């Protein structure tokens, strides 16, 4: 090595590795946009299917385009019997993200379009890749709902084509059609998690896709990265914390005690946002509505008090609630088991993962960073009989 040591950015923090037009985060002002549209407008007026179309095609669909897109997605929800059999044989105590990962990986060999596009030009087959994308996105909720029903020793509930993506997922989980508020809340949650720049799981998808591997392999990489507790799973921990606090009256003492012990308050702070996470603000509004509907005001009020104390103590440092603080409450109030929280994240984020892969493939370059070697340079080999 020369005398000059190149800069090393461990974790690639602050490093631009590609260009994208899918989403933009203004962490200082607490803004999130999907292809130019504010997340507030999209959560209020749009649907997950429309958001997915926007991310994949670069524009909001007209009525005909959206209708066809929704029909195509709905027609792909069922999974092969062989994959159902595989899921049924997996341990009931397995991590749900491992179930989702295994299920998606198992879908690949049964995809009729995959063999025809395999090869060095796989990234140029956009029409075929879009068909595969629709299958992956449509089948991921089915995989998770089927496993949940099996785990609970209940008959699986097959998907319906007349329900939208969010409502159908809840229907397959519960065995009953959700009401309007439940369906809207799940739809909003999916919209809010659909994309978020070059996070760890999105980058993992792109690393795999850049080798010209297939879309199934890329999505499995994303699921694997999201399984890690430093990326997915924070909403589970935030909910457990609120349950542990138990009451608004206990919030201040609990928070102060945690901070004095240099422990984290889950659901606060963000790698990018230095202001209030806009997704948290949106979910907070719906969490309040759902708390009244389900008679769980105590949980919501406890969260409000934790937020109040945290902003009072750490708001000046740019630490505010993030999306995980309220998403866990929303899922819990909907009656969704805690272990399914992160899979729901993946079911939603698959929309963004796929959008980024399709975008990156337009000007594909193999992602191959370097590591700065800091080990010895002229070590002498010692025969094993002479080693101490």
Q: Are 224 and 101 in contact (CB under 8 A)?
A: yes
Shared domain for 260 and 346, answered yes or no, is no
Shared domain for 184 and 91, answered yes or no, is yes
The answer to whether residue 112 is domain-embedded is yes
The answer to whether residue 14 is domain-embedded is no
Q: Is 324 tagged catalytic?
A: yes
**Distance separating alpha carbons of residues 292 and 315, to the nearest angstrom:** 28
- Tell me the pLDDT of the chain averaged across its residues: 94
Catalytic residue among 270, 277, 332, 356: 270
Instruction: Output the pLDDT for position 3.
Output: 58
The answer to whether residue 346 is domain-embedded is yes
Instruction: Output the pLDDT for position 7.
Output: 80
Shared domain for 209 and 276, answered yes or no, is no
The answer to whether residue 3 is domain-embedded is no
| pLDDT for 167 beyond 70 | yes
**Distance separating alpha carbons of residues 283 and 327, to the nearest angstrom:** 7
Instruction: Output the pLDDT for position 117.
Output: 86
Identify any residues that bridge with 286 across adjacent strands, giving them in sequence order.
Answer: none
Q: Tell me, rounded to whole angstroms, the distance of Cα 114 from its chain centroid.
A: 25
Give the residue from 318, 225, 279 showing the smallest Cα distance to 23: 279
Residue range(s) defining the domain that contains residue 309: 234-333
| pLDDT for 15 beyond 90 | no
Total domain count for the chain? 2
Shared domain for 90 and 215, answered yes or no, is yes
Shared domain for 164 and 63, answered yes or no, is yes
| pLDDT for 109 beyond 60 | yes
CATH number at residue 179: 1.10.580.10
Shared domain for 116 and 210, answered yes or no, is yes
Shared domain for 197 and 212, answered yes or no, is yes
216-268, pLDDT tens digit by residue? Answer: 999 999 999 999 988 888 889 999 999 999 999 999 999 999 999 999 998 99
The token pair at 65 is: 């385009």
| pLDDT for 1 beyond 70 | no
Residue position matching structure tokens 């760890």? 200
Shared domain for 156 and 296, answered yes or no, is no
Shared domain for 162 and 52, answered yes or no, is yes
Shared domain for 29 and 174, answered yes or no, is yes
Alpha helices per DSSP H over the chain:
39-45, 48-57, 63-74, 81-88, 96-107, 114-117, 126-151, 165-174, 180-193, 200-210, 215-227, 234-245, 248-260, 278-294, 297-314, 323-333, 341-361
Catalytic residue among 111, 324, 332, 356: 324
The answer to whether residue 376 is domain-embedded is no
CA dihedral (278, 282, 288, 294) in degrees, to 10, reads -130
CATH number at residue 265: 1.10.230.10
Q: Is 277 tagged catalytic?
A: no
Give the residue from 354, 373, 367, 294 showing the smallest Cα distance to 329: 294
**Distance separating alpha carbons of residues 167 and 48, to the nearest angstrom:** 11
Shared domain for 246 and 354, answered yes or no, is no
Q: Are 336 and 344 in contact (CB under 8 A)?
A: yes
Taking the model in full, what pTM does it have?
A: 0.94
3-class SS at 366? Answer: coil
| pLDDT average, residue stretch 146-156 | 97
């Amino acid at each position: 090595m020369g005398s000059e040591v190149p800069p090393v950015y461990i974790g690639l923090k602050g490093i631009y590795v590609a260009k994208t037009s899918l989403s933009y985060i203004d962490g200082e002002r607490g803004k999130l946009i999907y292809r130019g549209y504010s997340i507030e407008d999209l959560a209020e007026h749009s649907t997950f299917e429309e958001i997915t179309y926007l991310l994949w095609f670069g524009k909001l669909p007209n009525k005909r385009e959206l209708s066809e897109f929704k029909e195509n997605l709905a027609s792909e929800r069922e999974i092969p019997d062989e994959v159902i059999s595989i899921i049924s044989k997996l341990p009931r105590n397995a991590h749900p993200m491992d179930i989702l990962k295994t299920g998606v990986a198992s879908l690949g060999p049964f995809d009729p379009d995959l063999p025809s596009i395999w090869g060095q030009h796989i990234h140029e087959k956009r029409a075929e890749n879009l068909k595969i994308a629709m299958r992956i996105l449509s089948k991921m909720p089915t995989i998770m709902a089927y496993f949940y029903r099996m785990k609970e020793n209940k008959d699986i509930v097959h998907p319906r084509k007349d329900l939208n993506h969010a409502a159908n997922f809840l229907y397959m989980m519960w065995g009953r059609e959700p009401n309007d508020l439940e369906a809207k809340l799940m739809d909003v949650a999916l919209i809010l998690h659909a994309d978020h720049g070059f996070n760890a799981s999105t980058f993992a998808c792109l690393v795999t896709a850049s080798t010209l591997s297939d879309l199934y392999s890329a999505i499995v990489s994303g699921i694997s990265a999201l399984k890690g507790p430093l990326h997915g799973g924070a909403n589970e921990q935030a909910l457990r914390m609120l349950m542990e606090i138990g009451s608004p009256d206990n919030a201040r003492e609990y928070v102060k005690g945690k901070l004095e012990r240099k422990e984290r308050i889950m659901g606060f702070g963000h790698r990018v946002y230095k202001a209030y996470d806009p997704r948290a603000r949106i979910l907070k509004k719906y969490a309040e509505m759902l708390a009244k509907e389900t008679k769980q005001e105590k949980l919501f009020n406890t969260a409000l008090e934790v937020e109040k104390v945290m902003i009072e103590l750490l708001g000046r440092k740019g630490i505010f609630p993030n999306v995980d603080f309220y998403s866990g409450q929303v899922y819990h109030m909907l009656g969704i088991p805690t272990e399914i929280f992160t899979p729901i994240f993946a079911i939603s984020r698959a929309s963004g993962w796929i959008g980024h892969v399709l975008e990156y493939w337009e000007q594909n370059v193999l992602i191959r960073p370097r590591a700065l070697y800091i080990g010895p340079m002229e070590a002498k080999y010692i025969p094993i009989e002479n080693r101490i």
